[in-house]
Every structure is written in C-alpha cells, then in structure tokens.
C-alpha cells in the first residue's frame, strides 16, 4: 500500500474537522444546492482508501470515479455544453448542472466551471465515496437532476446496522439502498422538460421493481469478506463497488439473447422464406440501451450464406409504426446543432448511424428544437419513438427473403448478430474522441439453416 503518513496521522488524531457549510441549515438539493458548501466539507476518496482498500480500488476503476476526467466527458462539457451555455441564456444553468451529477463536490462548492481535468483539481474525484455516503434524502418525487440532499460530516450512511469504525460514525440508511437514490443522478430532464435519462423510471415500470430487486443487486453484487482492513468481522455479503455497465464488455455481452428460425426448412430458388428473430432482454433491470440513449447504439444484422459461400444481406421487414425510419440504420445527415455550438457556419451534419443501412437499430431518438437528431441531451426538445428492449421484453423481427435464382443447391446458413457501440462513430471521429469509446461489442449471435432443393 502507498504510504500516506500525513493522512494516517490525521486519521489517528481524528482530525477531520468538519467546517460548517456556508449557511447554517441546509436541506436543499438540485439547482438550489449550488455553492452552499465548501470543498472542505467533503472528504477525499484517498482518505477512505486507508481502511477501505478493496472498495477504493473497485470504485477507482468504475466510470463514476472518472465521471469528470473521462476524455469523452471532458470533450462534451468543454467543447459543446459550455460554449452553448455561453451563447444562449436558456442553457446557462447547464454549465453548473452537468457537474451536479459528474463532479458533485465541485457543484456543491459552487466551482463553475471547474478547471480542466489536467489541472488535477478536486473535480477529478467525480462521484466520490463521501458524496454517496452523506446523501440523506431527495427533495421529492421523482428522483431527477441531482435532487439529492447531503449532510456532510462524520456520519457515513450505509447498509449495515451496528458496525464500528474508529474514524467515523456509521448509520444504517434505508434510502442508500433504494433505486430512487441512484435515480437522483440516473434520471435527467432537459431544459425543455424532456426525459433524457430515465433508468430508474424504466426500472420502476418493469418487473424488477415489483420483485424488490434494486440497481444494487446487479451493479453492486454481494460477496463475503471485510469491507475495511481494520474491520472486526467478516460479513457474508459485502457490497462490491463495481458499478459496471456500458463500459464493461463482459456486462454487455449476453445482455440480450437471440434465437431464430425459418418459416420453411426446404425451399426452391425463387421461393419466399420468412426468418423470425427473437431478441430477449433477460439480464437488465431497465431498457437496453438505457441512460445516455442519445449516443448508444444497439443493432441487429442478419445475413445468409449459401452452399457456394455467397453472402446476402437481409434487410429487416418494416412494421409500419410511426417514427420507424429512426429504427432502421441510415446514413442521412444528422447532429447539425453541433455546428451552432462550435461556430461552424453551414455545418451540414454527420452520417446518422455510420453503419451499413437497412438493419434494425434499437434506439430512442433525441431531437433538437429544429427537429433534427442530436447527441446533446441538454438541447433535446422532443423524443422519437422508443424502440428499445425493455426488461424481460422480447422483440420479434422478421426478414422476408426471396431466395435468389442463383442460390446454390444445398444448405443456407442464416446468421443474426447483435452489436453495441457506446458512441456513434461519425460523432467520435468529428470530435476526436479516443477510439475505445467506439469499440464494437458483440452482444450475441444466433444461427439457423434451411435447404435449397431443386
Ligand atoms: C480508520 C479506518 C477507516 C477510515 C479512514 C474510513 N473508514 Fe469507513 N469504516 C471503517 C470500519 C472499520 C467500518 C466497519 C466495517 C465493518 O465492521 O464491517 C467502516 C464502515 C463504513 C461504512 C458502512 C456503514 C454502515 O452502517 O453500513 C461506510 C459507508 C463507510 N465506512 C464509509 C467510509 C467513507 C466514505 C470513508 C472516507 C470518507 C471512510 N469510511 C473512511 C473504517 C474506516
Ligand atoms: C451523484 C450522482 C450519482 C449517483 C448518486 C449515482 N450515479 Fe451512477 N453515474 C453517475 C454518472 C455521472 C455516471 C456517468 C459516468 C461517466 O461515464 O461519465 C454514472 C455511471 C454509472 C454506471 C455506468 C457505468 C458504465 O460503464 O457506463 C452505472 C452502472 C452506475 N452509474 C450505477 C449506479 C448505481 C447502481 C447507483 C446507486 C447505488 C448510482 N450509479 C448512483 C452519477 C451518479
Ligand atoms: C437485473 C439486473 C439489473 C438491474 C436491476 C439494473 N441493471 Fe443496470 N445494467 C444491467 C446490465 C446487464 C447492463 C449492461 C447492458 C446495458 O448496457 O444495458 C446494465 C447497464 C446499465 C447502465 C449503462 C446503460 C447504457 O446503455 O449506457 C447504467 C447507467 C445502469 N445499468 C444503471 C442502473 C441503475 C441506475 C439501476 C437501478 C435503477 C439499474 N441499472 C438496475 C443490469 C441491471
Ligand atoms: C454511487 C454511490 C457510491 C459510491 C461512489 C461509493 N459508495 Fe459505498 N456504498 C454505496 C451503497 C449504495 C452501499 C450499500 C449497498 C447495498 O445496500 O447494497 C455502499 C456500501 C458501502 C460500504 C459497506 C459495505 C458492506 O457491505 O459492509 C462501505 C464500507 C462503503 N460503501 C465505502 C465506500 C468507499 C470507501 C467508497 C469510495 C472508494 C464508496 N463507498 C463509494 C454507494 C456508493
Ligand atoms: C442528472 C444527472 C446528469 C446530468 C445533469 C448530466 N449527466 Fe452526463 N451522465 C449521467 C449519467 C448517469 C451517465 C451515464 C449513463 C450511461 O452510462 O448510460 C452520463 C453519461 C454522460 C456521458 C457519456 C459518458 C460515456 O463515457 O459514455 C457524457 C459525455 C456526459 N454524460 C456528459 C454530460 C454533460 C456535458 C452534461 C451537461 C450538459 C451532463 N452530462 C449532464 C448523469 C448526468
């Protein structure tokens, strides 16, 4: 372990002196809490590491520890959101607001905007240990736009009754264990009042809420051990601080299951065959994709290969619902609002999906005030059709195919591949977002066969 003699000394002396917040009685959340505290009211994660070593190292790898420093967050905040907020008073609050969730300590200390990550300021702590463990309530229903209420100080709220720490007081706290707690940052409304993140609300409408399975079960799984090197007892159910999600390929793989079958097992060239694919969300407590749906992509590609090795791409059958074009991959130009934010006159836009066309894409389109697709959730004035896969929902897609006259006699193998990408490639290339954000994760695949006969 790295030696930090000063911190250890201060721990030994119990020298964490809780400075009072700027005003005496604060039970405010959301935008009203901006600047009500000082940085010194919140402890640094490195202090907690002295005893909670494993939990610290788990958290340090999670995206919440990187919520301010992560390259794509930095680019979107400093190159799109801040310039936009400076141009248009409607978005003035956005400058501070992003950090209500991404750098809560800076938000509460009124540091707007905080220095860039390279400066190494306390904004870099992201969603820190102390923030999460001093949240006591929310301002009201529903959880939305950082409406958590904090009471910083010696008392750390958690999931266990009666445990003793030499450094702080501990309290069992019901709210900490609820999905509504996570929802204070995982539900977001844009300045137009549009729900641009609704992970907890999606969960609430689904089967997992009814069964009493909150976020923690899947994102903070339990395992035996000690939560602190100095803990007296082992427990069979220590809450692991993994918070793994869209950035963990292992979490994403298999999130959706695929099966498929043909309408006929024997066809002649020129016959029509219908391939049916079922996509089942058996693993997620919310829709897939969830959260930053404006930039996540989940798509299904079906191809057939005949006995001679010729490959055919099967476009998905249209269902004819309103807004369906957004759910079929296309490279029409989109995201023109970035031109206004970045002062590029006449910006024509970028290819919408930067994927081969004609495949089903499971998405929730975000539209700017001019009705154009946007990846800026704060500039979202309306949403398109919600064609994502809900918890325990099965989506059925069909592919009607006239077997080509030249198809070889023998077995045709049909494959379905479902893939996931965190950020649209055209947008990433344009904004110079490092390539790991556009890695393609294979969520699942399936195959079926039929025979072409004379
Ligand atoms: C000097 C060691 C030490 C330091 C430093 C320390 N803790 Fe603890 N903490 C403990 C011990 C010991 C326990 C009890 C563990 C047990 O018995 O299972 C504990 C328990 C907890 C709990 C569980 C409370 C409950 O009721 O479920 C939380 C939450 C917690 N600590 C948060 C923090 C945070 C946040 C920090 C940094 C600001 C921190 N701790 C710093 C030693 C420490
Ligand atoms: C103070 C605000 C806040 C709270 C409270 C909060 N989160 Fe987050 N969470 C964030 C932010 C911000 C991100 C996005 C980090 C990034 O990628 O920039 C995030 C990201 C995540 C991710 C996505 C990781 C990925 O790989 O994409 C998961 C999973 C997650 N949080 C789970 C939870 C759970 C479970 C809870 C409740 C126990 C919770 N969060 C509470 C702010 C919060
Ligand atoms: C039954 C298990 C389960 C529950 C309950 C659950 N999740 Fe997830 N979550 C997953 C899985 C699996 C993934 C990875 C697949 C994906 O990205 O959607 C995921 C992904 C995520 C992501 C990344 C989504 C994206 O597409 O960018 C976030 C954020 C998240 N979860 C937060 C939460 C929050 C907050 C809750 C509670 C309101 C919650 N989860 C409840 C299983 C669960
Ligand atoms: C996004 C919010 C969040 C962050 C960040 C976070 N925690 Fe927690 N922590 C929780 C929640 C929620 C629980 C209770 C889990 C449950 O009930 O399933 C918990 C539980 C704990 C426990 C008790 C574990 C047990 O089962 O006995 C300790 C100790 C703890 N956290 C310390 C820390 C430390 C140290 C850090 C930073 C390195 C940290 N936490 C970061 C939300 C968070
Ligand atoms: C209400 C809380 C909240 C607010 C306000 C908020 N975010 Fe987020 N942000 C999140 C959460 C939670 C996630 C993770 C969702 C997921 O994994 O799908 C996220 C994800 C992101 C991501 C994607 C990170 C990645 O690696 O994929 C970027 C970029 C981002 N936010 C930037 C911003 C900017 C810029 C603002 C202000 C205009 C902002 N956010 C406002 C909660 C918030």
pLDDT tens per residue across span 287-341: 999 999 999 999 999 999 999 999 999 999 999 999 999 999 999 999 999 999 9
* Whole-angstrom distance, CA of residue 79 vs CA of residue 71: 12
Whether 185 is in the pocket of ligand 3, judged by its Cβ within 6 Å, is: no
Please check the confidence at residue 3 and state whether its pLDDT lies above 50.
Answer: no
The pLDDT mean for the chain works out to: 95
Ligand nearest to the CA of 374: 5
138: nearest Cα among 149, 152, 151, 150:
149
- If one residue of 75, 94, 102 were mutated to test the ligand 5 pocket, choosing by the most ligand atoms within 8 A of its CB, it would be 102
Q: Which residue has the tokens 């229903």?
A: 141
What atom in ligand 4 is closest to the CA of residue 228?
A: 29
pLDDT at 189: 98
Sign of CA dihedral 100, 102, 104, 108: negative
- Residue 23: the pLDDT is 61
Taking alpha carbons only, the member of 27, 5, 17, 58 closest to residue 139 is 27
**In the prediction, which pLDDT does 15 show?**
43
Question: Which atom belonging to ligand 1 lies closest to the Cα atom of 166?
Answer: 1
Whole-number pLDDT of residue 9: 39
For range 436-444, the mean pLDDT: 97
d(CA 231, CA 382): 51
pLDDT on residue 27: 86
Per-residue pLDDT reduced to its tens digit, 197-220: 999 999 999 999 999 999 999 999
**Does any ligand 5 atom lie closer than 6 A to the CB of residue 100?**
yes
**pLDDT-derived band of residue 25, with 50, 70 and 90 as boundaries?**
low
At residue 5, the pLDDT reads: 40
pLDDT at 22: 65
pLDDT for position 26: 72
Mean pLDDT, range 406-414, rounded to an integer:
97
Burial class (CB in 10 A: 0-12, 13-18, 19+), 117: buried
- Decide: 438 and 422 in contact? Cβ < 8 Å: yes
- What atom in ligand 3 is closest to the CA of residue 214? 5
Ligand 1 atom with minimal separation from the 229 CA: 12
Ligand in nearest proximity to the CA of 214: 3
Prior bond of 225 cis (ω within 30°): no
Mutate to test the pocket of ligand 1, among 9, 51, 159 (most ligand atoms within 8 A of CB): 51
CB atoms within 10 A of CB 192: 14
Question: How far is CA 290 from its chain centroid?
Answer: 6
**CA 89 vs CA 39, 82, 86, 108, 433: distances in Å:** 28, 11, 7, 22, 28
* The pLDDT of residue 6 is above 50: no
Measuring from atom 23 of ligand 1, which residue has the nearest CA? 158
- Measured from the alpha carbon of residue 224, the closest ligand is 4
Asked whether 279 lines ligand 5 (CB < 6 A), one says no
d(CA 223, CA 157): 20
- Under a CB-based contact definition with an 8 Å cutoff, are residues 103 and 66 in contact? no
Top mutation candidate among 30, 58, 127 for ligand 2, by most atoms within 8 Å of CB: 127
pLDDT at residue 182 greater than cutoff 60: yes
The tokens 């400075």 sit on which residue? Answer: 19
CA-to-CA distance for 84 and 145, rounded, in angstroms? 19
**How far apart are the C-alpha atoms of 379 and 137, rounded to whole Å?**
29
Q: What is the pLDDT of residues 363-372, one digit of tens each?
A: 999 999 999 9
Q: Of ligand 3's atoms, which has the minimum distance to the CA of residue 182?
A: 35
Angle at 39 between CA 100 and CA 185, to 5 degrees: 20
Query: What's the gap in Å between 251 CA and the centre of ligand 3?
Result: 9
């Amino acid at each position: 372990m790295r030696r930090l003699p000063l911190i250890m000394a201060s721990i030994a002396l119990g020298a964490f002196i809780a400075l009072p917040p700027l005003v005496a009685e604060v039970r405010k959340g959301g935008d009203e809490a901006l600047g009500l505290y000082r940085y010194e009211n919140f402890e640094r994660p490195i202090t907690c590491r002295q005893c909670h070593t494993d939990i610290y190292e788990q958290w340090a790898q999670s995206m919440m520890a990187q919520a301010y420093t992560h390259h794509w967050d930095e680019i979107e905040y400093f190159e799109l959101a801040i310039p936009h907020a400076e141009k248009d008073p409607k978005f003035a609050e956005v400058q501070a607001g992003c950090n209500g969730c991404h750098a809560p300590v800076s938000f509460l200390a009124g540091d707007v905007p905080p220095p860039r990550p390279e400066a190494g300021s306390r904004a870099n702590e992201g969603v820190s240990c102390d923030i999460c463990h001093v949240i006591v309530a929310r301002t009201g229903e529903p959880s939305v736009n950082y409406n958590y209420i904090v009471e910083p100080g010696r008392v750390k709220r958690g999931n266990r009754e009666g445990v003793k720490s030499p450094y702080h007081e501990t309290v069992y706290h019901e709210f900490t264990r609820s999905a509504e707690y996570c929802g204070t940052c995982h539900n977001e409304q844009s300045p137009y009042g549009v729900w641009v993140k609704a992970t907890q609300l999606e969960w609430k409408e689904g089967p997992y809420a009814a069964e009493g399975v909150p976020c923690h079960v899947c994102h903070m799984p339990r395992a035996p051990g000690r939560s602190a090197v100095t803990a007296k007892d082992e427990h069979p159910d220590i809450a692991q601080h993994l918070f793994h999600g869209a950035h963990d390929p292992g979490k994403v793989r298999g999130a959706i299951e695929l099966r498929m079958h043909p309408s006929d097992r024997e066809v002649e060239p020129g016959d029509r065959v219908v391939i049916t694919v079922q996509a089942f969300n058996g693993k997620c407590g919310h829709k897939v994709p969830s959260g930053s749906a404006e930039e996540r992509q989940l798509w299904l590609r079906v191809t057939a290969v005949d006995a001679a090795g010729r490959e055919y791409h099967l476009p998905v059958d249209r269902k004819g619902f309103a807004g369906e074009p957004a759910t079929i991959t296309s490279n029409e130009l989109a995201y023109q609002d970035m031109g206004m934010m970045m002062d590029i006159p006449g910006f024509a836009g970028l290819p919408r999906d930067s994927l081969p066309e004609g495949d089903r894409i499971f998405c929730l389109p975000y539209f700017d005030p001019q009705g154009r697709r946007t990846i800026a959730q704060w500039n979202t004035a309306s949403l398109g059709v919600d064609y994502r896969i809900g918890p325990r929902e099965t989506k059925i897609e069909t592919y009607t195919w006239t077997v080509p006259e030249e198809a070889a006699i023998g077995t045709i193998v049909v494959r379905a591949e479902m893939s996931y990408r965190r950020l649209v490639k055209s947008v990433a290339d344009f904004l110079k977002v490092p390539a790991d954000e556009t890695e393609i994760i294979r969520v699942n695949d399936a195959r079926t066969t039929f025979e072409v006969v004379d």
